[in-house]
Amino acid sequence: MNKDFSLLKKCPLFIGVSEDDIKSLLDCLSAKERVVKKGEMIFSVGDRPEYVGIVLEGNVHIMQEDYWGNRTILTSVRAGGLFAEAFSAAEAATLPVSVFAQSDGKVLLIDCRKLLTTCSNSCVFHARLVRNLMKIVSVKNIALTQKIEHITKKSVRERVMSYLSECALAEGSNSFAIPFNRQELADYLSVERSALSNTLSKMQSEGIISFEKNKFTILT
Amino acid sequence: MNKDFSLLKKCPLFIGVSEDDIKSLLDCLSAKERVVKKGEMIFSVGDRPEYVGIVLEGNVHIMQEDYWGNRTILTSVRAGGLFAEAFSAAEAATLPVSVFAQSDGKVLLIDCRKLLTTCSNSCVFHARLVRNLMKIVSVKNIALTQKIEHITKKSVRERVMSYLSECALAEGSNSFAIPFNRQELADYLSVERSALSNTLSKMQSEGIISFEKNKFTILT
DNA sequence: ACAATTCGGTTGTTAAAACAACAGAAAGGG
DNA sequence: CCCTTTCTGTTGTTTTAACAACCGAATTGT
């Protein structure tokens, strides 16, 4: 039980709420803890999205199935992470993805209607929770928009420039470290790792950038 | 004045709030109306995002400038549309884009802190507003995620299949109309229009799909 | 009805990226 | 310390999509 609270305190949804207050909040929201076995479905495609989920132990996978039945794992959510929050908050009619436990673990399910509606006994931290959720979804929104800006570019070079430009502007400096290794950056930009390496090398030899490992500098 | 309210009533942020209540809400939020001339900056890069904007008349452009000073118009927002809501809700330190009037017009600016904090006189519809904003941001979130799923696919054919699969699943039928013409679909999927047409034709001749104009059927 | 414009499909050429395979450097483990 | 594994860059080949140019059909406006 204590373990849960120390985890929840770090969970972005509960930022700014003390351990004691989290406890009363969970009561107020009638949050349900659910123990899950590896492979167990937590939500299935077509379910009405009524709950925001938080992983307490283990990790869960978000799975999509296309028209022809091909399955893809969209994301893996680890302890502390949220899932299904966007679908719940969007009041989507049905869930377009499935969520299942990738390992034995425990999840916390919060009724999103209770979360989004100010509760009758108007608990103080409820508003904070809503703001936190708003922030989480908005931050993700911005991140998704940025990624789209990069990968809508046609060439590898343009994608790289777009990404490095964003990093430089965010850092406020022409020198910065990126949070990816080559393979991860390639995946993020949706290009081949070797093509990425090639492009980076050429840009360096052309004097546009210099880099070492994940530390980059824009020279022009 | 009346014109504004009829527009605001249709604005997704005020869904479920009557005209009278919108009026008192705007007071409660101390919303500011601002008349803008064509070309006028509404927000500039680096500003602290404090306001959610609503276009009342005319339209505004969201502009991005990269490290080298290249400018891109990211979106155009028309009357009734929201802007800067994600940055405000995300509590971003600075605005990474500029917003300027593309034509003479009028915008409504709402202090996002007032919007996100339950007001002291606890007006009844404030909570509704927050729910609406949450829904707007979440819906966009889902849309962005879907787009990314499509355009991370390598080939034109895979992107098309991914998109059509999504349409079919959303519609709950193998037959559906899409909200794009060819050029728009090509732009959405980040491919060449001619390549898209070519791929669609081949898929039709292979018996995978059939289509006429914007009406598609998945056959397999 | 006719001209002008938009829209969708076709084709050949060209440019670019994916792919595959390899090599050297760095990191990690026993 | 050596062996193994991971990470990164390099190169040549193949596949693919962008590009450009064109054509016919449909649409619109006068």
Instruction: Specify the residue for token string 């593309």.
Output: B102
Phi, psi of B60 (to 5 degrees): -120, 155
Cα separation of A202 and A157, whole Å? 10
Put simply, the answer to whether A66 touches B169 (Cβ < 8 Å) is yes
pLDDT tens digits for A136-184? 999 999 999 999 999 999 999 999 999 999 999 999 999 999 999 999 9
User: What is residue A121's predicted lDDT score, i.e. its pLDDT?
Assistant: 55
Can you state the percent helix, strand and coil of chain A, rounding each to 5? Answer: 45, 25, 35
Scanning A172-211 for CB atoms below 8 A from B yields: 174, 190
Q: What is the pLDDT of residues A118-137, one digit of tens each?
A: 665 556 788 888 899 999 99
Query: Which helix H or strand E contains B134, and what residues bound it?
Result: helix B126-151
Cβ count near A83 (within 10 Å)? 22
| Nucleotide closest in space to A194 (CA vs C1') | D9
Give the residue ranges of chain B where pLDDT is below 70: 1-4, 118-123
Per-residue pLDDT, B220: 83
pLDDT digits (tens, 9 = 90+) for B134-152: 999 999 999 999 999 999 9
pLDDT, tens digit (0-9, with 9 covering 90-100), for A33-89: 999 999 999 999 999 999 999 999 999 999 999 999 999 999 999 999 999 999 999
Radius of gyration of chain A (CA): 21
pTM score: 0.94
Q: What average pLDDT does the segment A17-43 reach? A: 91
pLDDT tens digits, A99-111:
999 999 999 999 9
Residue A4 has pLDDT above 80, yes or no: no
d(CA A146, CA A142): 6
Alpha-helical segments (H) within chain A = 2-10, 19-28, 85-89, 112-116, 126-151, 156-171, 182-189, 193-205
What whole-number distance in Å separates Cα of residue A15 and Cα of residue A139? 15
User: Closest Cα to residue A67, out of B216, B183, B185?
Assistant: B216
Nearest by CB: A147 against B127, B148, B166:
B148
Query: Read out DSSP for B135-151?
Result: HHHHHHHHHHHHHHHHH
Task: Report residues 142-201 of A contacting strand D, contact meaning Cβ closer than 7 Å.
Answer: 154, 181-183, 193-194, 197-198, 200-201
pLDDT score, position B7: 87
In angstroms, the CA of B176 and the C1' of C8 are apart by 19
Q: What's phi and psi for A28, nearest 5 deg? A: -55, -35
